[in-house]
Structure 1
Amino acid sequence: MPKIKNAKILILATDGFEQSELDVPREKLKAVAQLVHVAAPKERKEKGSILGWRDHDWGDPVPVDVELSDASTSLYDAIVLPGGQMNPDTLRKNPEALALIKAFLAEGKVVAAICHAPWLLIEANAVRGRRATSYDSIKTDMINAGANWLDEPVVADQGIVTSRNPGDLEAFVAKIIEEVEEGKHERAVLAA
C-alpha cells in the first residue's frame, strides 16, 4: 500500500473553479504528498494560470503546472476534480479531460470530485450503480445517471470519492488520503 508521503496527485481544473475546492485540497495534499500538480487545458496553461470563483465573483489565479494534453496517469496516483458550476461544465465538454478521467478510473486510481464536479463523473459513466454524493442541485442528475445518491459529507465507493460542498473539504481531503493509501481499487469499468 502506498504511503501518502510518496503519492503524486493531479488536480484538474479550468477557469471558474470554486476557489476553496481547489485551494484547500492543493494546500492540504501538498503538506503530506510528494507532489501535487494543477493541470488545465492548453489555452489556460499558455496563460500560466486559471481563475477561481469566490462569493459570486472572480477569485484568485492559481498557477498551472501541467498542460492537460501532457498529463498522464503514469505519473499520478489520484486525480482531484474541484467544483464550481463553470469549471466542470466546461471540462465535461473537453474530450481530453474526459479521456484522462476515464484513464484514472480504468486503472483503479483514486478519482475525487466535489460539489458540481461529479458532472464529470456522470460524463465518464462512473456513477452508475455506485454510492456517491454531490452538490444538492445536481442530485437529480446523479440519480438519473444511476448513482445511489447519499446526503453525506463524503462518500467513497471503490476509490471514487465525492463530497457535497466547501463545508465538506476536511472530510473530502481526509478520504482522498485514506483511499490513496489503500492502493489500486479493483472496480468494473462501466461501458458508456
Structure 2
Amino acid sequence: MRIAFLVAHEGIEQVELTHPWQAVGDAGGTPRLVSTRPGNVQAFQHLDKAGTFPVDQTVDEASVSEYDGLVLPGGVANPDALRLDDGAVGLVRGFFEAGKPVAAICHAPWVLVEADVVRGRTLTSWPSLQTDIRNAGGAWVDEKVVVCSGGPNTLVTSRMPDDLKAFEEAALTAFGA
C-alpha cells in the first residue's frame, strides 16, 4: 500500500502528519510526502515551528495512479495554502474521480471543499469549518471519526489531534491494511 501525504510547504500540524505516517509504515505501507514545492516542509506544533520533513515528490510530479490512498494532514495554514494551489486541488479531485480512499483531519477538509468533493457527503472537521462544509453541500457532524462511503470512494475525516487513534484505524481500514 502506497499512500500519498499531501501538504503545503509550511503550516502542517506535525502530529497530524507524523502519527498517521507512522501508522501507515507500521501497517507495512509506504508513506510518501507530496508537496507544492520541492525540498523540505515546515511543520508546526500549534503556532510554534516544529520539525522539517523532506519532500519525496511535488504535486506536479505526482500521479493518482501511483498511490492507493491519500492523507491530508491539518494545521490551519497548510490546507489554506493547498486550496490556493491548482495542482494540489486537482490531485485531490483526482483521488475522488479514481475512487481511491481519502483521509482528512482537522482543517484539511478545506481542501475538499475547494475540490468540490463534499457535496452529498457526511464528514467532520475542526468545528470552525462546519459552515464551509455545509455551504459546499456536505453534512457536518461532531464525531471523532466519520467514514463516508456514499460516493465514488471512501472518505475518512476527523476533528483534531485528540482523534488521531480513531482516524488512523479508520484510514488504514479504508486503505485496505
Q: Map 1:37-186; keep pairs closer than 5 Å.
A: 37-42=32-37, 45=38, 48-158=39-149, 159-181=154-176
Aligned residues of 1:9 and 1:33 also touching (Cα < 8 A): no
Are 1:13 and 2:7 counterparts?
yes
Aligned residues of 2:44 and 2:50 also touching (Cα < 8 A): yes
Give me the whole-angstrom Cα distance separating, in 2, the residues matched to 1:130 and 1:180: 19
- 1:56 is displaced (CA, Å) by 2.0
Deviations 1:63-122 (A, max 9, x none): 111111111111100010001110000000100001100110001001111000000010
Deviations 1:28-73 (A, max 9, x none): 111113311001113xx1xx21001114211110111111111111
Are 1:24 and 2:19 counterparts?
yes
Q: Alignment identity in percent?
A: 41
- Give 4+ residue runs of structure 1 displaced > 3 Å after superposition: none
Aligned residues of 1:8 and 1:34 also touching (Cα < 8 A): yes
- 1:173 is displaced (CA, Å) by 0.8
Give me the whole-angstrom Cα distance separating, in 2, the residues matched to 1:180 and 1:125: 22
Give me the whole-angstrom Cα distance separating, in 2, the residues matched to 1:112 and 1:105: 11
Question: Which structure is larger by alpha-carbon Rg, 1 or 2?
Answer: 1
Unaligned runs of 5+ in 1: 1-6, 183-192
Aligned residues of 1:8 and 1:33 also touching (Cα < 8 A): no
Aligned residues of 1:116 and 1:138 also touching (Cα < 8 A): yes
Q: How much is the aligned-residue C-alpha RMSD, in angstroms?
A: 1.2
- 1:17 is displaced (CA, Å) by 0.6
Q: TM-score, normalised by structure 1?
A: 0.86
Aligned residues of 2:35 and 2:59 also touching (Cα < 8 A): yes
SS at match of 2:116: coil
Q: Between Structure 1 and Structure 2, how many residues are aligned?
A: 172
